Structure 1
Amino acid sequence: MKRLVSLFAMILLIGVASPAFAQSILRDAESEALLADMSRDLIKAANLPPGVRIVLINDSSINAFVAGGQAVYIHSGLIDAASTANEVQGVIAHELGHITGGHVPLGDRMGKGATGITILSLLLAAGAIAAGSPDAGMGLMQMGQRAALGSYLAFSRAQEATTDAAGVKYLAGAGISGRGMLDFFKKLQQQEYRYGIKRGSETSYVVSHPLSGERISNLTADLQAAPAWSKPSDPALEERFKRVQAKLRGYVADPKDTLRKYPETDVSVPAHYARAYAYHLSGYPDQAAAEAGALVKAEPDNPYFLELEGQILLESGKVRDAIPPLREATAKTNFQPLIATSFGHALLAAEDASLLPEAERVLRQSVARDRENPFAWYQLGMLYERKGDSSRAALATAERASLTGDVGRALSSGRAAMAGLPQGSPDWIRAQDIVLASQGMIESRKKR
């Protein structure tokens, strides 16, 4: 049982992860806009380029991490557990410290060193077993594994301490209060108590971060000394956070849990948001439409409410009714790519040839602004198939396959696109790029 608890604690509080994580990314225009606004001043304070992204991961655990590159990954479980936007800003500030500190490459090198210790212990153990001392051999193996783990975790805890200090600096530089950082550490401390992780216990030596109590003690004075300590959080930002949090709960949680948390007697905007998703996912389109309608009635010009109304109508089979709110939401957000993709989808689903030119214009603009949206490429491929343009349909399929990791399909579709497109044209060159990249990946896999 202790080993299980130790493993859980280590997973719970990991801050830097491998690029090969398996969780699914959640894409939502409103959520991405909020996270961008919450992090903008922190990114600037960290002297990082504006292109740093905050990416939402569909995972119920309380976690955030970096995995190389200019991105911070936040689990949906962390958004659910946070009480304020300011708490999430404290987490983002910490994770930006991992980026500026280059901790993913350092962690990779340290991990290789730890692996080396393990291999050495296995070789020594094999020699002891061959010499007729199996008990000694097993002991050497266990010692090697513990040494490797201890070496890596000591390195990780040292990284976390310096990253905490960087987070404090970035909060101060951004003029954001550090209260949220301390409040979130207190939440983590409660998790540690729950799983028996405390100073001096066996489990305290197999976690990758300093214990939260230590972090609170080390950081409180510096956070309280910052000019922004007593600065209240932006009320508008906090209201937006409550809305996104409710929307996320409605989307990822069990609908029964959502409806218990947001009963019909709650007529707030976040409650309508959460119930709209819960009813929609439960297969109650009329109730979902009523909740979305209440939101639009409260704020008729809110593009995210119009998007939700259109989405519910579209997925309930009322395609024609979905087009006006989605068209309006697209216009009000200046063709935000995710919303524009939903609008393009509705235009195609109407199966009206007169709407194809508008659908093509919308979808092409969507992928031009956000090339990393597989669903947009799928819709664009369907449009070209309907128009009889098989070459560009193949190119859209190749784009989608390369994003989803389907290297074989990306290669074959890219070749099909090259065969039908004018040689040297921008689309032909793009298809060639996909083919060359796919061939390289296939060759690399063969060598491994």
Structure 2
Amino acid sequence: MARIHRLATLLAMLCLASFASRPAMAQSVLRDAETEALLADMAKPLFAAAGLNPANGKVVLIGDPSINAFVAGGQIVYVNSGLIDAADTANQVQGVVAHEIGHIVGGHAVFQRDGGYGNISILSLLLGAAAMAAGSAEAGTGILMAGQRAAIGKYLAYSRVQESSADAAGVRFLNTAGISGKGMLGFFEKLTQEMHRYGYYSTDPEVDPFAQTHPMSQDRVQTLKADLEGSPNWTKPLDPDLERRFKRVQAKLRGYTNDPKKTLRIYPLSDQSIPAHYARAYAYHQSGYPEQAAAETAALVKLAPNDPYFLELQGQILLESGQPQASLDPLRKATQLSNNSPLIASTFGHALVATEDKANLKEAEQVLRDSLTRDRDNPFAWINLGTVYDREGDEPRTALATAERANLIGDARTAMVSARRAMGGLPQGSPEWIRAQDIAMVSEQAMKDDKRNKGRNLQ
């Protein structure tokens, strides 16, 4: 057991350092219209309770199976898919989001000078429970150099204070928003049970609660319990609409991210509920069984013919099964019924392009342009719009679409070259020309900064 704890410490510290060294958006962001709408509705009252403009707040889903959420600057909360999978209710996720907003309000994400780590990561069983034994002399000499240990110790102490502060702020935000704190407390209790399950609570002297990034979950539960249970919101019923939507989103994420066999164990064929049909549809689609996926989706559409998300899935399965023409009707209807959701519209635009019918190019251009007007941060939509322009013979706008996509994914060289090419063919001074100029300037500076940083690292 002691060897395992020391190895866990090393792995956790390496993970912490490498995680902090890369921007959050460089990780795998999962985008889904239904999920984003749910997370926005869950977080809106909490951002408002924190004194922030909900229009500027955002919850982003990360494709990561670990139970974690974090902030990394700005008014953005990042939630791992593993946390959605592990949660029992939408209210539990709201408790996590409230805690994360506490980090935002406290300005905790910007603390590189306090230990050198750039992201705050909370509620991670992998980091919070595994970062043990760092204070042991054997671990210090055998694993970490003295200077590294000092920096990590400073970071751990700093982080524990922040976590407690964010806990208290999260309680205030839940109470102000009129939301029950049962979810927050329930999620900490869930983490405590997991830590007991894996033997992290024991009499082993190497299990040092002061060598962790977060207060031990059982201690956090005791600290929060009085404030949460004393609130008039404690016995308030959970929002039935949010809980219903959460079960749908949880099911589709499980179907999309988990092993299909696991999904079918959780949602057997005998389960004819909407979440079960949803999960199986994604599981079958992901594992290459289009007929079964189509059957599950047909069952959903039969239950709710005007549900835009069911229609979106039906169209997506048809499109990815090589039937773009057949996908147009459900995707067009899904776009209309979702009030032109940009993510759904971008899939519809892709289907129009995929038909390879020139008669669909004008509609595809309009659909994709409208989508990008509402959500410019969609590389997939820029690819398809660039394809439309290319087929129309519009080289400058093809180059601009390429520059936009490259700028989003951090490919500074391609962005600069494409933006300059676009400037050469667009009317000088036009909005598109100015946009191309902006991308070219930003990309050129990014390349210079990257070269300068590489030079420093070699010294």
TM-score (structure 2 length as normaliser): 0.88
Gaps of 5+ in 1: 115-137
Q: Which residue of 2 aligns with 1:46?
A: 50
Structure 1 residues 215-250: Cα deviation after superposition (integer angstroms, max 9, x where no partner): 011010100111110001111110100000000000
311-320 or 203-212, which deviates more: 203-212
Candidates 151, 168, 182, aligned match of 2:185 = 182
Paired AA for residue 180 in structure 1: G
- CA gap of 1:113–1:189, structure 2 versus 1, over 3 A, is closer
Contact 2:21 2:117 in 1 (8 A): no
- TM-superposed deviation, 1:349: 1.1
Equivalent residue number for residue 335 of structure 1: 340
Separation in 1 of the partners of 2:50 and 2:199? 35
| Residue of 160, 175, 178 corresponding to 1:172 | 175
Find out whether 1:37 has 2:28 as its counterpart: no
Q: CA separation in 1, counterparts of 2:99 and 2:352?
A: 43
Q: Is 1:81 aligned with 2:83?
A: no
CA distance in 2: counterparts of 1:144 and 1:349, whole angstroms: 57
- Give, in angstroms, the shift of residue 265 of structure 1: 0.7
Match for 2:376 among 368, 371, 374? 371
Taking structure 1 as reference, are residues 250 and 13 closer, same or farther at Cα in structure 2, changes over 3 Å only?
Answer: farther
Identify the range of structure 1 (248-257 vs 188-197) with the bigger mean alpha-carbon deviation: 188-197
Q: Which residue of the partner structure matches residue 26 of structure 1?
A: 30
CA contact (8 A) 1:6 1:207 kept: no
Q: Is the 8 A contact 2:396 2:426 kept in 1?
A: yes
| RMSD (Å) for aligned C-alpha atoms | 2.2
Deviation at 1:150, TM superposition (A): 1.7
For the 8 Å contact 2:59–2:78, the answer to whether it is kept is yes
Matched, 1:286 2:276: no
Task: Render the CA deviation track for 1:173-204: whole Å, top value 9, x for unaligned.
Answer: 11000000011001111232234333874232
Structure 1 19/70 Cα, relative in aligned 2: closer, same or farther at 3 Å?
farther
In structure 2, what is the equivalent of residue 355 of structure 1? 360
Q: Partner residue of 1:192?
A: 195
* 2:5 matches 1:5: no
User: Residue 182 of structure 2 aligns to which amino acid in structure 1?
Assistant: R
Find 1:297's aligned residue among 295, 302, 306: 302
What is the deviation of 1:213?
Answer: 0.8
Contact (CA 8 Å) 2:20, 2:117: kept in 1 or not?
no
Where do residues 108-123 of structure 1 align in structure 2 (5 Å cutoff)? 108-112=112-116
- The answer to whether the 8 A contact 2:115-2:154 is kept is no
Give the superposition deviation at 1:142. Answer: 3.9
Q: CA deviation at 1:23?
A: 2.4
TM-score (norm 1): 0.91
2:155 alignment partner in structure 1: 152
* Residues 17, 67 of structure 1: 8 Å contact kept: no
Partner Cα distance (2:60, 2:220) in 1: 25
Give matches, 1:205-284, under 5 Å.
Answer: 205-284=210-289
How far apart, in 2, do the equivalents of 1:395 and 1:96 lie? 36
Per the TM alignment, residue 13 of structure 1 is displaced from its structure 2 partner at its CA by: 10
Structure having the larger proportion of residues in helix = 1
Partner residue in 1 for 2:125: none
- Aligned partner letter, 1:160: E
Quick one: distance in 2 between partners of 1:349 and 1:195?
A: 49
Is the contact made by 2:407 and 2:439 (CA closer than 8 Å) also made in structure 1?
yes
Q: Where does residue 118 of structure 1 map in the other structure?
A: none
Counterpart AA for 2:332? R
Q: Distance in 2 between matches of 1:19 and 1:54?
A: 19
Return 5+ residue gaps in structure 2 as ranges.
Answer: 119-140, 454-459
% identical equivalent positions: 61
User: Structure 1 residues 250-259 or 4-13, which shifts more?
Assistant: 4-13
Question: Structure 1's 190 and 6: CA in aligned 2 closer, same or farther, altered over 3 A?
Answer: farther
Q: Tell me the distance in 2 between the aligned counterparts of 1:345 and 1:112.
A: 43
Residue 96, structure 1, aligned to residue 101, structure 2: yes
Return closer, same or farther for 1:224/1:10 CA change in 2, 3 Å cut-off. farther
Deviation at 1:147, TM superposition (A): 2.6
**Helix, strand or coil for the counterpart of 1:111?**
coil
Q: Distance in 1 between matches of 2:186 and 2:424?
A: 59
2:437 corresponding residue in structure 1? 432
Partners of 2:424 and 2:292 lie apart in 1 by 50
> What residue is the counterpart of 1:447 in the other structure?
452
Larger of the two Rg values belongs to structure:
1
SS in 2 for 1:188: helix
